[in-house]
Structure 1
Amino acid sequence: MNGLSPAFLSFSNFFEITRISVETGLAALGMTLVIITGGIDLSVGSVLGLSGIVMGILHHMGLEVWLAAAIAVGTGALCGFINGQLITRAGIPPLIVTLATLAIFRGLALGISQARSFGSYPPEFLALGAGYLGSVPTQLLVFGVLALLVGLLLAKTTLGRFIYAIGNNAMAARFSGVPVNRVLVLVYTLSGALAGVAGVIFTARVSSARSDAGIGTELDAITAVVLGGASISGGSGSIVGTLLGLLLVGVVRNGLTLAFIPAEQQAIIIGSILLVAVLLNQVIRLRSRRN
């Protein structure tokens, strides 16, 4: 890909790849938890957009920017909680629930904003999305801390063991005493909260809250998780794997952008990568069962 642009393998471009991948990465952290349980969350992009708009409107009304940001994260968590309740209480499959809320949350973002954007944020807030600590982007540090926390949650806590148990066999986990419904609601709530954080960071990065923010984020997030080794049917996956998948998606996206590949063609390529990754995952699972 370096032949496409002399800037591709530069040190500054590496940080640019990681910087613009943070919002997708935050969504992918939550998506990892969801996919390990055997679920899916197609609403993360819409939650990102809605959370950013809530923050923008509240700040525009005079609320202190950090308080508005906290409420935005809470909005994301509430969206995830709603997803979890619909899945566990109503028994609707995650695919259907989150496909519906993808449209609902995006419609809310468009409706309450009247398709307007909201800017005029203080410099200390904008530094969250566009600032640097030395040569390292500020939002990359935030992402690193959250990735570490989610990784520890999965690998070192009882909740993490419950998440894997549900993905392997939800019925057996329930008979073993795992509070399946409560764990699932918590997982979707965390996914929504992380998407809310992504909405705040996106707003800081582009200096504006926009109702179209996050469109397509779910595709890149799911692709990163599956490329990282998670099984789409649940029971396996890790944060380290997701980070590697995220880096690959970021490199591909950046290379395509530097090669002036149109956005619609980029979506086709990323979708094809996801399809191939899922097919390979299925082949590996079938071979392991035969052995």
Structure 2
Amino acid sequence: MRERLLRWETVLLTLCVLVLAYGAISTDGFAEADNISFLLLDYSEVALLAFALLPIVLTGEIDLSVASVLGFCSALTGALWNAGMPFETIVPLVVGAGVVLGSINAVLIVRFGLPSLAVTIGTLGLYRGLAYVVLGDGAVTGFPSTYRPLATDSLGFLPYVTILVIVVGIIAAVVVHYTPVGRALYAIGLGEQTARFSGIRVDRIKMSLYLVSGGLAALASLIFTLRYNSARADNGNGLELAVVAAVLLGGVSIFGGRGTVFGVATAVLLMAGLRNVLFLGDVSNEIQNVITGLLLIISVLVPASARLFARRKRQHPTAEPTLDEEESCPAPTVSSQRS
């Protein structure tokens, strides 16, 4: 029972409840249905990208290009809409484009064996640059009113997009925690070579993860574009910071092999609530970015400190009882001399 209470997910859930309670008590309008809908909508894209990044980080890899894939797909949406293409045709094309961008990351990382950090930093800039090539500096607006409500309206206080996020989260939880694929993700993160010797198809799994990441980033781009009714090349710029912070704050080890979907979902809700409280308190975006950066540092520092403490505790077991035992027992050499 004590270990369950001290789990990082429990700490996150407690912090989340405290932040939401503080907002409801101290901030006018925080607990109103419209604001709750806005709070959930504000981090819907972050949640989708975090669920895409979670299994990748579990394997010990990273994808920093997710926000740039979102930006490119948003720009592509605007360019195709400008060209007079029906929105029903644009949707599968954009999702397919996201999968293609994810496959480029996959090929470079899996087939060529390049470090995922270096590759996705490179494609972060590459995909964002391609977004400007596709659409330029302008913005495209006037998307069909028949689809925009799907990204803006709510069922009571629950936005339609949040329902989609919940469905994606449930699917991610089932796959990660209750299927052989999920067990393989943890095995790869704990030791890739051991996983290979165990018969796990490491390369195929990693390839699939980056394809899914690209597809979910494209889906998030469609939501982002419709929600703001604006397709721009800089859409989602800097969003990767919030996504990585949500995943690491959710208790997922940056080295792989540890983390839960529930932890990531709770971290997203915590960050959304905190951002909303700051927004209603007229705190500037710069300060909000500083807080997000601090959360990212804390999310790495706390687990690392806990592991270091546990390691030192194992290396230095209870020494005092041993010393007492030695003092209470005569040394064998002394006894032999007296005999």
Q: Same fold (TM over 0.5)?
A: yes
Q: For residues 229-240 of structure 1, what are the structure 2 equivalents within 5 Å? A: 229-240=251-262
How far, CA to CA, are the matches of 2:53 and 2:309 in structure 1? 26
Match of 2:137 among 112, 115, 120: 115
Q: 219, 224, 231: which is aligned to 1:209?
A: 231
Paired residue secondary structure (1:124): coil
Query: Following the alignment from structure 2 to structure 1, what is the Cα–Cα distance between the partners of residues 280 and 273?
Result: 10
Taking the aligned partners of 1:277 and 1:132, their CA distance within structure 2 comes to 32
Aligned-pair distance for 1:133? 2.7
Match of 2:141, SS state, is: coil
Does residue 49 (structure 1) correspond to residue 71 (structure 2)? The answer is yes
In structure 2, stretches of 5+ residues that fail to align are: 1-21, 315-339
Match of 1:73 in 2: 95
Q: Which residue is 2:192 aligned to?
A: 170
Per-residue CA distance 1:141-199 (angstroms, 9 max, x = gap): 11111111121111222221211111111110011111111111111111111111110
What does 1:130-279 align with in structure 2 at a 5 Å threshold? 130-279=152-301
Q: Distance in 1 between matches of 2:27 and 2:156?
A: 26
Residue 50 to residue 187, structure 1, CA distance change in 2 (3 Å): same
The amino acid across from 1:190 in the alignment is V
Asked whether the equivalents of residues 167 and 234 of structure 1 are also in contact (C-alpha less than 8 Å), the reply is yes
Residue by residue over 1:12-31, the C-alpha shift from the partner in whole angstroms, topping out at 9 and shown as x without a partner, is 32221111110010000011
Q: Which amino acid aligns with 2:249?
A: L
Contact in 2 for aligned 1:26/1:195 (Cα 8 Å): yes
Which 5+ residue runs of structure 1 have no aligned equivalent? none
| Residue aligned with 1:209, SS | coil
Q: Distance in 2 between matches of 1:4 and 1:111?
A: 46
Give the aligned partner of residue 99 of structure 1: 121
The one-letter amino acid paired with 2:63 is D
Larger radius of gyration: 2
Correspondence for 1:17: 39
What's the CA shift for 1:274? 0.8
1:225 touches 1:245 (CA, 8 Å); kept in 2? yes
* Contact preservation (8 Å) 1:27, 1:217: no
Q: Distance in 2 between matches of 1:198 and 1:274?
A: 22
Return the offset for 1:36.
Answer: 0.7
Structure 1 equivalent of residue 309 of structure 2:
287
Post-superposition Cα deviations, 1:109-167, rounded to whole Å, max 9, x if no partner, equal 11110112112211121012112234421111111111111211112222212111111
Q: Tell me the SS of whatever aligns to 1:148.
A: helix
Contact 2:67 2:240 in 1 (8 A): yes
Query: 1:277 Cα deviation (Å)?
Result: 1.4
Q: What is the deviation of 1:34?
A: 1.2
Determine helix, strand or coil for the equivalent of 1:232: coil
Distance 1:160 1:57 in 2: 38
Check whether the contact 1:4–1:258 (CA below 8 A) recurs between aligned residues.
no
Contact 2:107–2:207 (8 Å) recurs in 1: yes
Which one-letter code corresponds to 1:92 in the other structure? L
- Measure, in 2, the Cα distance between the counterparts of 1:127 and 1:11: 17
> Counterpart of 2:146 in 1: which secondary structure?
helix
Is contact 1:106–1:211 with CA below 8 Å preserved after alignment?
yes
Alpha-carbon distance in structure 1 between the residues aligned to 2:223 and 2:88: 12
Q: Distance in 2 between matches of 1:256 and 1:35?
A: 29
1:86 corresponds, among 99, 108, 114, to 108
Q: Is the 8 A contact 1:84 1:185 kept in 2?
A: yes
Give me the whole-angstrom Cα distance separating, in 2, the residues matched to 1:193 and 1:85. Answer: 16
Q: CA RMSD in A?
A: 1.5
Instruction: State how far apart, in whole Å, the 1-side matches of 2:249 and 2:55 are.
Output: 15
Contact 1:48 1:213 in 2 (8 A): yes
Instruction: Give the total of aligned pairs.
Output: 291
Match of 1:209, as an amino acid?
Answer: A
Matches of 1:86 and 1:288 in 2, distance apart?
37
Farther off after superposition, 181-190 or 250-259: 250-259
In structure 2, distance between residues paired with 1:156 and 1:41: 24
For 1:47, the aligned partner's letter is V
- Which amino acid letter does the alignment assign opposite residue 115 of structure 1? D
Match status 1:62 vs 2:102:
no
